[in-house]
Structure 1
């Protein structure tokens, strides 16, 4: 089969056309083609043929025995219900290029050389664009094709560009278009957002299917600490099991996070707030464990030990240094590490339900 698939162009293009008719997303069909040919295929070449067929153009090398047509409503619903799966999908935006990585397969769109390159371990140039705009347009087209009806275990969006760059704005317009065309929310289990501005965190989260989303990670660039509480109040966050926020969050929000299974945040705690947090964690029916980092902390490990009656450090409890028995009958395992440099104290707390 692989021999015919490699050397018989009619078989190869016939396969692509069949996937178009079945409405298999382009990248999913591409991965199947690579498996059948038992070799890497140029994604750009594959996508070109796929898009030609999808647009109704059949004047390619192969004379096709059937005509592209709209399928019945029943068949369309069956196709839409089919799971097209990706373990990790990463979008990286930097000033000179845009990168898509899908399950280890990298496609790079270079805005300086106007080259598009791709591959798994070895990246090779597969297409030359006339200008940077064409390279960017190719990237946006690929996103539309790849993300159609795609279920993603881990979606990561990362940018490292200036605030006045409109690349991110255009990217999110494309994501909104895909979201609208899919007629359903994005099915993502873990969402990682590392953006230079706060503008898109809320609209991006709103595109997620709440029944799929279980984990959210927010980067360090958030400047408005009110964004996180707004996100937490959204329907998309109701089933979250783990949240990682790499910035300082308000104490009220920290207490709200006690209803999650796991979380990791930066926060500043007073003695009173530490007591309140311990109490909130102890009575939570869902809490399992957390990590709280207090940079330039006003709370020391000694004060923490006093207010929650940690007592002397004894034998390790499953890797934790202290076990705390609370008045309500609950117990927590706590470890506290303190570092002091130039008069500033950094306190890291690990807390887990016993």
Structure 2
């Protein structure tokens, strides 16, 4: 509370700063303002500017469109966020929905949606919060849907900040994951300017949101101290070993590799990959193409995978023996061991590795 001597001792009634004085009989009662102080972090200020820009657009829509937003707000009754519920007007609902649509990469909509699909809780697997890495694993996001994953974060500025959920701001809206992994290291630095410090308390809100609707309601809330080790299993972060187009010789006398995105996990021997090939002159029901040298995580790795042909061949199914050589031999070999072999095919998915 802000104490001003002139208020407390000079028979003053009224307000000064955030303090109100009431003179009752011989006593003066002081009270501080309970209204929101309007204090905000720089990141929250940027978001509120977006709300302001959208708010001005409300005056440009037709009266019929405004009535649609008013009717939707009346049916909704209250607007719920992770910080509580509040009654909402058509104007405020218009601003909230369109602001989050914009954040999700969707265009402005003047018409109220037919229904509001609220955001949902989302379970994430292990995660790392360190100065070098801010990474979330096992983030489930269905491909082909309107869903995106919204991340909000705030790093406490002192050990005394033990509950600062109202200070979080949007770090990223994720439209797709990297085989279930989301790396927010770069996004966090762009947002806040400084990396996390070991021992710093971090507040995280994450939810799955329908990008067409933009209705943020339910959050999963995660709190943790920044550490070099992961939250659940206390592991040091190691990037997954990868093979991309820049690491191979895509065209050989046998085959043209149109695309390759091959990764192996850092713990159990599992691969998630996508390989698309067109055989040019292979002598058998298999092919091989060289690479330029891979990381030490690769040596001799083998997986048995399903593959399929092109639409012209009605997606004929095959079973492929996929081998990665990274020793005295540096090549990637694929051989059909079952099904109907086609010269153009793709293989993808998650499989166990053997060697």
- Give the TM-score normalised by structure 2: 0.25
Structure ranking higher in strand proportion: 2
Relative CO higher for 1 or 2, CA cutoff 8 Å, sep ≥ 6?
A: 2
Higher helix share: 1
Larger radius of gyration: 2
